[in-house]
Structure 1
Amino acid sequence: MHSLIRWAPLAFVRLVVALAAGILTYLYGGEKLPELWPWLLGGFFLIVFGQWWAAKCGSAGANDAIGLLALAVVFLAGLTSAQLATESRRLDHLSQLTSPVEFYRAVVDENPVVRPATYATTLRVSAVRVGGRWQPAVGGIRVSVPREDGVAAPLYGEVWLVRGQPAPAKAPLNPGEFDYRRYLAYHQIYHQQFIHPDQYRILAFLPPSYVRAVSLRAARVLDGVFRRYVTAKREYAMASALVLGLRDDIDQETKQAYANTGTTHIMAVSGLQVGLLFGLITWALRRLFGAAPGFRYWSAGVGLAVIWSYAFVTGCSASVLRAAVMFSFIIVARVTERQSTMYNTLAVAAFVLLCYDPYLLADVGFQLSFLAVLSIVYLQPRIAGWVDFREIAARRQRPWQSRPVRHLWKASGWAAEWVWQATALTLAAQVATFPLGLYYFHQFPLSFLLSNLVAVPLSSGALYVGLGLLAVTGITHVIGALVPAFASGLDVVPRLVAVVLENIIWAFNEYIFWIGRQMPQALISGIQLSAPQTWLVFGVILLLLIFLTAKRLAWLGLACALLGVFAGSRAWAAHRISTDEELIVYSIPRRSVCGFWQGAAADIVTVDSLPLSETERTYRIVPGSIQRAARRVSYYQGWQAAPVPARLQAEDGLVLVVWRGLRLAFVTGYLSPARQPWPVDVVVLRRNARVRPAELAAVFGKKPPIVFDSSCRSWYVARQDSLLRAAGFHTHDVTAQGAFRQRPRQ
């Protein structure tokens, strides 16, 4: 009974944990489960019967059993909701079609992402033409459209008629590479397609949600205000990102600087911006109208209206809607004066969001937002309570001191307390989120405290000034429309506000870049954590917090035990990798790249003698390096510069390499009829090598696998692959099947 009383205020915490556990179970291994909704209905009937039976017998044990049964049913509800939300299970889904798609009709479901050469967006299919007949269908397709003259950016709500067959989303092609296919699947997108301008036609404008269509239009109009008044390009891009969440114009250097200092959250409209707006509105209303009758109720209405209006003008993005829901529940809980803790309020918000979309649980933003808020609610008051600077300053004041001196002590105490409160908040947020930062982003910025202590207040001021600029611009336009004679003169007001905004943004931009220059070694990067290791880190943190609260050594012992398991797993992984040797022919579009790995060291050779771009390294090579905890990765252009222990021969477009006992042949042009047989372990065909199966068999035999590297064209691979397989060869296309991996002979 004692446990029930203790848990009574946290009812929704238990429910959301059970729901999340069910969703996680489905995400990690529930795809092949049968239909679960009949079992869920049966569970509900069991609860109803159990309640009747418990009321009849009046036993406390029966109530406990019903409580456990209810948690089990909520767990099953999580499984079922994730199953029902999975579009690929539907019979009319694109993945269930057995015949090729000739045309399909789809609607643009999101604002495009602007890339250097393409627009990327998502289409939601409503019908397909198969075998000359149209039929209903569903499915999400991630499409790219080239940015060319005369090609307009896709607009949310446009209905397209598209010719061609969308391809299933590709699995990761290189070791450690980001699993984009899984990421798309979590958003109910299972196909991809590059669409040329002559492959599609805009039929109509029928947005899935007219509210969101108007919202996106409003965001673009407001972005025009910043584009007009904020003249510096970098400051304009940051203003648009900070206030409206539009990040297309932020350059890569700025993004990297913010990532390296742990301040990326400033560039996206999320819980920080909504929280700042909520705090400003709450403070202003309390100061101005705190004594007014019914203040508690109508101020809550004003707060809700402001938060949801802000969500509307920022395009109703997923992150801001999530934050708006969270703060809405906080407002409602306050106004109703429910006897509930903040943990329960957050649990209710999470429960509602997960019921709406179970796949939100796999969203990084959702995870970071709720963990950060939970950590702040629990830890920030405790950390802040370590020191009270206002009390320290008060103790330094003496009756004989002059009034300016006493005011100086008071002001210094207030300032130090404010800095300490901000420090406590930043530290509290990091405690719960840093394991996820290591898992998803493989880095940890030690400068996060210095960066956030200055950048967050400055960006907060920039947010308020940016919203003020939008408000002032709207007011001046209204006055100008009513009194045209004042229109030209009034324009000076938003321009002055824009100057203030531009200078604030310039200040925190420069501060972030300065931190990066002054503390170049403060970024710990290349950290690889597996999912089980991440759970172990969370377990250690949780047990340490329990120990600090309960003051019992048993909890510290458990934390040390988990830490030992974590250290052992890291040591075992390092030992396993240290003895691993592997050749990797990478899958990088239009490139020939080989990696010769010996433990945590590698020599990466670009066979075509052209250097890898920074993007190719970052997305194709570096993830595998992090996965291996690499200490040295060297890049070489061409065979001549590479220190690969090999004997090279170049003749008739043929390069022969012997590495760690592994014999490799790289064929670029053709094979001379006079060439003697040469036994090898792997044959790599490059740049559409002009060879026939008989020539390959005569020189290398049919035993070694034939590898088509990424420099080979798709038409060439399709033709040669069928010929080689018919001749008895084993083939591997790195473009379609991913990187080719081969270990040396032992």
Structure 2
Amino acid sequence: LRSAIMFTCIVVGNNMARQSNVLNSLAVSAFILLCYNPFWLWDAGFQLSYAAIIGIVIFMKPIYQLMNFQNRLVDMIWQMNAVTISAQLLTLAICIYQFHQFPNYFLISNIIAVPLSSLILLLEIFLCAISFLPSLFSFMASLTALLIRLMNACVERIEQLPFSVWNGLQISFVQAILLAASLVLFLSCLLYREHIRALLYTGLIAMTTFVSLRCLSFIQAGRQQMLIVYQRSADLIRGRAYSSIYGAEADDVFPASARSLFRLRKSGQSLFIHSGNYYSFLAKKIILIDRKTGYSPTDHPQEIDLVILSQKAVANSNEFLQAMNIRQVVADASVPAYMVRQWQMGCEAAGVPFHDVRAKGAFVMKF
């Protein structure tokens, strides 16, 4: 739908009597789409589509003119690269902000994908025109399917190369705006050479601010100390390192996102002291109660900072709360609802704060 409306607006604009600007046609198509669904403005696909097209329309020609080649084949390859670079530069901030990664081999993959995808598109249009000829249609459909498999195989092969993707990139919304602004200002130097000094200085200010905020965020990440309880797992975090204390991460999709957000890497050594279901982390005392781990209140210190409930926690809530001085109880999303209610009622009676991950989201304790 997005491509069809975008293409229709551009064609209608080009066929009008008066001179048309492609950017105006793109603006009209975006307005129509947002009238249909205003929430598409926050859709990553919508943002990437328009950023890529705008980048190609504005910056492809100036980038292409930076280098001239006499060889026709080399010139065609450079032209494709100019298209790719112009689209990639304007979508860079969105890619990093939304997906926290960057494809390092985008130039190589697009040299294969761009011509093949263009040919596939033409063949699919041709298939619509020959649908009444079964024999020819069958042959062309098989050829189109072969080209699609070839393109996918090439892209997947490039993805498997070492360092094909730069993962774990994390920027804030403000940093994304500054990065996009600096790139646009630097690229605008190719268009408005008479204002190159002002554009260059402004771009440098935006880039310097971006780098400064990045450095500040890394300093803050290096000082962080916290515990996070997800739906079915938990992490202890110190600086940019983390250690998991329990959980099946395959069943919990949130740890990977949180670790990317907090710029974490798995610690080479344990960050906590562990004995049975008792954990000590930065002088905080933590007890994990699940269906596998038995407990006896006399086995643990009388002062407990945090109790984590997971799965079918076998402990009797009243007995446990009476035997120890507990500051916080957290039930992850794997605890049955009836058991959550039992513990919640016991905590309310004892005056102990209770956090239900299923109802309130992840629990974060900062130290």
Match of residue 666 from structure 1: 288
Q: Structure 2 residue aligned with 1:714, among 310, 314, 337?
A: 337
**1:455 CA drift (Å):** 1.5
Aligned AA for 2:302?
A: W
Distance (Å, rounded) in 2 between the aligned partners of 1:732 and 1:554: 54
Distance (Å, rounded) in 1 between the aligned partners of 2:110 and 2:285: 53
Q: Structure 2 residue aligned with 1:577, among 221, 244, 266?
A: 221
Distance (Å, rounded) in 1 between the aligned partners of 2:125 and 2:198: 52
Q: Structure 1 residue aligned with 2:108, among 450, 464, 478?
A: 450
Q: Could you tell me the TM-score, scaled by structure 1's length? A: 0.46
Show structure 1 runs of 5+ residues with no match: 1-320, 393-412, 477-490, 636-641
1:466-507 deviation line (CA, Å, top 9, x unaligned): 4444554x314xxxxxxxxxxxxxx55444333322322232
Distance (Å, rounded) in 1 between the aligned partners of 2:246 and 2:15: 64
CA pair 357-568 structure 1, distance change in 2 beyond 3 A: same
* Residue aligned with 1:529, SS: coil
Q: Where in structure 2 are the equivalents of 1:183-198 lying within 5 Å?
A: none
* Residue aligned with 1:520, SS: coil
Distance (Å, rounded) in 2 between the aligned partners of 1:494 and 1:446: 38
Match of residue 173 from structure 2: 531
The answer to whether the aligner puts 1:686 opposite 2:310 as a matched pair is yes
Q: Where in structure 2 are the equivalents of 1:161-180 lying within 5 Å?
A: none
CA pair 345-603 structure 1, distance change in 2 beyond 3 A: same
Q: Where in structure 2 are the equivalents of 1:86-165 lying within 5 Å?
A: none
Match of residue 132 from structure 2: 475
Match of residue 419 from structure 1: 77
**1:441 CA drift (Å):** 0.8
CA pair 424-449 structure 1, distance change in 2 beyond 3 A: same
Distance (Å, rounded) in 2 between the aligned partners of 1:723 and 1:576: 38
Q: Where in structure 2 are the equivalents of 1:196-211 lying within 5 Å?
A: none
Distance (Å, rounded) in 1 between the aligned partners of 2:122 and 2:331: 56
The answer to whether the aligner puts 1:522 opposite 2:156 as a matched pair is no
Distance (Å, rounded) in 1 between the aligned partners of 2:310 and 2:156: 43
The answer to whether the aligner puts 1:600 opposite 2:240 as a matched pair is yes
Q: Where in structure 2 are the equivalents of 1:173-572 lying within 5 Å?
A: 321-389=1-69, 392=70, 413-469=71-127, 471-472=129-130, 474-476=131-133, 492-517=135-160, 519-548=161-190, 549=192, 550-572=194-216
Is the Cα–Cα contact under 8 Å of residues 310 and 335 in structure 2 kept in the other structure?
Answer: yes
Is the Cα–Cα contact under 8 Å of residues 600 and 629 in structure 1 kept in the other structure?
Answer: yes
Aligned AA for 1:363?
A: D
**1:674 CA drift (Å):** 6.0
Distance (Å, rounded) in 2 between the aligned partners of 1:628 and 1:337: 55
* Residue aligned with 1:583, SS: strand
Distance (Å, rounded) in 2 between the aligned partners of 1:704 and 1:381: 64
Distance (Å, rounded) in 2 between the aligned partners of 1:369 and 1:686: 43
**1:344 CA drift (Å):** 2.2
Is the Cα–Cα contact under 8 Å of residues 717 and 733 in structure 1 kept in the other structure?
Answer: yes
Match of residue 358 from structure 2: 735
Distance (Å, rounded) in 2 between the aligned partners of 1:531 and 1:604: 29
CA pair 466-558 structure 1, distance change in 2 beyond 3 A: closer
**1:686 CA drift (Å):** 2.9
CA pair 374-547 structure 1, distance change in 2 beyond 3 A: same
Distance (Å, rounded) in 2 between the aligned partners of 1:358 and 1:645: 48
The answer to whether the aligner puts 1:633 opposite 2:257 as a matched pair is no
* Residue aligned with 1:345, SS: helix
Aligned residues: 363
1:536-584 deviation line (CA, Å, top 9, x unaligned): 0122122223334234323212211111111111111111111111111
Is the Cα–Cα contact under 8 Å of residues 376 and 428 in structure 1 kept in the other structure?
Answer: yes
**1:516 CA drift (Å):** 2.3
Is the Cα–Cα contact under 8 Å of residues 603 and 634 in structure 1 kept in the other structure?
Answer: yes
Show structure 2 runs of 5+ residues with no match: none
Is the Cα–Cα contact under 8 Å of residues 693 and 727 in structure 1 kept in the other structure?
Answer: no
The percent of aligned pairs where both chains have the same amino acid is: 29
* Residue aligned with 1:665, SS: strand
Match of residue 15 from structure 1: none
**1:671 CA drift (Å):** 4.9
**1:627 CA drift (Å):** 1.2
1:3-59 deviation line (CA, Å, top 9, x unaligned): xxxxxxxxxxxxxxxxxxxxxxxxxxxxxxxxxxxxxxxxxxxxxxxxxxxxxxxxx
Is the Cα–Cα contact under 8 Å of residues 604 and 634 in structure 1 kept in the other structure?
Answer: no
CA pair 692-727 structure 1, distance change in 2 beyond 3 A: farther
When the two chains are superposed, the root-mean-square deviation of aligned CA atoms in Å is 2.5
The answer to whether the aligner puts 1:657 opposite 2:279 as a matched pair is yes
Is the Cα–Cα contact under 8 Å of residues 278 and 300 in structure 2 kept in the other structure?
Answer: no
Is the Cα–Cα contact under 8 Å of residues 685 and 707 in structure 1 kept in the other structure?
Answer: yes
Aligned AA for 2:346?
A: L
CA pair 634-336 structure 1, distance change in 2 beyond 3 A: same
Is the Cα–Cα contact under 8 Å of residues 577 and 600 in structure 1 kept in the other structure?
Answer: yes
Is the Cα–Cα contact under 8 Å of residues 677 and 698 in structure 1 kept in the other structure?
Answer: no
Segment of structure 1 superposing worse, 558-567 or 508-517 = 508-517
Distance (Å, rounded) in 2 between the aligned partners of 1:415 and 1:465: 23
**1:675 CA drift (Å):** 5.5
The answer to whether the aligner puts 1:612 opposite 2:249 as a matched pair is yes
Match of residue 270 from structure 2: 643
Q: Could you tell me the TM-score, scaled by structure 2's length? A: 0.89
* Residue aligned with 1:657, SS: strand
Is the Cα–Cα contact under 8 Å of residues 321 and 347 in structure 2 kept in the other structure?
Answer: no
CA pair 508-676 structure 1, distance change in 2 beyond 3 A: closer
Structure number with greater Rg is: 1
The answer to whether the aligner puts 1:725 opposite 2:348 as a matched pair is yes
Distance (Å, rounded) in 2 between the aligned partners of 1:602 and 1:388: 51
Aligned AA for 1:658?
A: S
Is the Cα–Cα contact under 8 Å of residues 679 and 699 in structure 1 kept in the other structure?
Answer: no
Distance (Å, rounded) in 2 between the aligned partners of 1:347 and 1:686: 51
**1:511 CA drift (Å):** 1.4
Distance (Å, rounded) in 2 between the aligned partners of 1:647 and 1:437: 40
* Residue aligned with 1:340, SS: coil
**1:350 CA drift (Å):** 2.5
Match of residue 697 from structure 1: 321
* Residue aligned with 1:629, SS: coil
CA pair 346-469 structure 1, distance change in 2 beyond 3 A: closer
Is the Cα–Cα contact under 8 Å of residues 445 and 522 in structure 1 kept in the other structure?
Answer: yes
Aligned AA for 2:172?
A: S
* Residue aligned with 1:437, SS: helix
CA pair 498-566 structure 1, distance change in 2 beyond 3 A: same
* Residue aligned with 1:475, SS: coil
Is the Cα–Cα contact under 8 Å of residues 289 and 310 in structure 2 kept in the other structure?
Answer: yes
* Residue aligned with 2:189, SS: helix
